[in-house]
């Protein structure tokens, strides 16, 4: 990509966040400046920035933007305002755990240095946000390296939604695996679900894959089963927005259906995600909060009415794939197979140390 998904411009006191507005892709490449907390929140809620890792990075920078007006305040007032800013950002989208994880790091950054004044803490908040972004780039490379070994040479690989550079600060999660496999000369072809109702696969994933020179075929969501039955697909890989301690994984709506289809057709189903996407406070996927979005995304997608007035809608943004349907989880620390709470803890740890 010629423009980064996220970038910070300037110093902590007067700088701002710049986002690649994903709602305008693939036809228009446009950057959005976020100079106020409200700008960052709106960008997250409206999916101008999306993907669990990218949301986490945006939130960390959003803390800096939100706290700039309190740079000259007392530490007591600064800390009170920080609690409000992080709460506002945490409420912007409920499912992606990277959001809460990044905000927790920002909060701890301030709490751990009570002797510093507000201006110094603001500087540290920016340093922490930059660190989160840099770590995510390294994480994406490691995920790609580990996952590429799982891809069959000459395979057709199906993916859903967008888990590439647009969803992270680096090369992606699921797409990092595909990029790495392609770079190794494994001659993969990628089938991309359009991903209803907002077409992240059609608009974003195809845009990234074709720019990387990977043979790419776009299909409707409802064609996945037939593609597997026809022998076009030898592996499925997606990202995730939150993974429970037992390996149940929340991802874009439609992912669960793919996992069921993959099991029926004996196709391996992989999920690629960083350690920060795991929520060890949740025993299973039944506890993962599922965001429900406005029904207009279904009835008036992209501004054109496609359903009768007054029709009822149900628009969950995510679903949960049970661990038993997941062949392996690909993380920056290695591949987790089989997907059990014991194996997850062995590879990742449960306290962040591994």
Decide if 228 contacts 267 (C-beta within 8 A). Answer: yes
Decide if 103 contacts 90 (C-beta within 8 A). Answer: yes
- Tokens linked to 14: 């007067």
Decide if 49 contacts 6 (C-beta within 8 A). Answer: yes
Which of 136, 241, 248, 279 does the annotation list as catalytic? Answer: 241
Decide if 204 contacts 164 (C-beta within 8 A). Answer: yes
Decide if 176 contacts 144 (C-beta within 8 A). Answer: yes
Q: Is 241 a catalytic residue?
A: yes
β-bridge partners, 334: 331
β-bridge partners, 85: none
Decide if 78 contacts 67 (C-beta within 8 A). Answer: yes
Residue 169 is given by DSSP the state S
Q: How many CA atoms lie within 13 A of 143 on its CB side?
A: 37
Whose tokens are 């962040």? That residue is 352
Enzyme catalytic residues = 241
């Amino acid at each position: 990509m010629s423009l980064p998904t996220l970038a910070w411009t300037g110093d902590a006191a007067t700088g701002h966040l710049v986002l690649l507005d994903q709602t305008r892709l693939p036809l228009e490449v446009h950057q959005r400046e976020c100079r106020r907390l409200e700008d960052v929140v709106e960008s997250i809620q409206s999916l101008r920035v999306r993907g669990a890792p990218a949301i986490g990075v945006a939130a960390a920078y959003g803390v800096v933007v939100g706290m700039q007006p309190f740079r000259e305040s007392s530490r007591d007032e600064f800390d009170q305002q920080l609690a409000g800013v992080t709460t506002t950002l945490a409420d912007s989208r409920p499912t992606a755990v990277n959001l809460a994880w990044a905000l927790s790091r920002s909060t701890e950054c301030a709490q751990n240095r009570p002797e510093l004044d507000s201006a110094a803490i603001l500087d540290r908040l920016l340093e922490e946000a930059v660190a989160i972004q840099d770590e995510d780039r390294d994480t994406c490379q490691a995920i790609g390296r580990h996952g590429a070994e799982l891809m069959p040479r000459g395979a057709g690989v199906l993916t859903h939604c967008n888990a590439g550079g647009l969803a992270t600060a680096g090369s992606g999660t699921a797409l990092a695996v595909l990029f790495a496999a392609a770079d190794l000369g494994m001659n993969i072809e990628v089938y991309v679900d359009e991903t209803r109702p907002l077409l992240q696969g059609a608009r974003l994933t195809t845009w990234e894959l074709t720019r990387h020179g990977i043979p790419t075929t776009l299909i409707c969501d409802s064609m996945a089963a037939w593609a597997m039955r026809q022998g076009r697909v030898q592996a499925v890989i997606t990202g995730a927005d939150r993974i429970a301690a037992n390996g149940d994984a929340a991802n874009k709506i439609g992912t669960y259906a793919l996992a069921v289809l993959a099991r029926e057709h004996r196709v391996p189903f992989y999920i690629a995600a960083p350690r920060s996407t795991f929520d060890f406070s949740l025993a299973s996927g039944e506890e993962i909060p599922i965001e429900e979005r406005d029904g207009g995304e279904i009835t008036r997608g992209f501004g054109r009415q496609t359903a009768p007035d007054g029709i009822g809608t149900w628009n969950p943004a995510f679903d949960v794939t049970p661990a038993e349907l997941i062949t392996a989880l690909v993380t920056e620390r290695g591949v987790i197979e089989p997907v059990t709470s014991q194996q997850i803890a062995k590879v990742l740890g449960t306290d962040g140390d591994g």
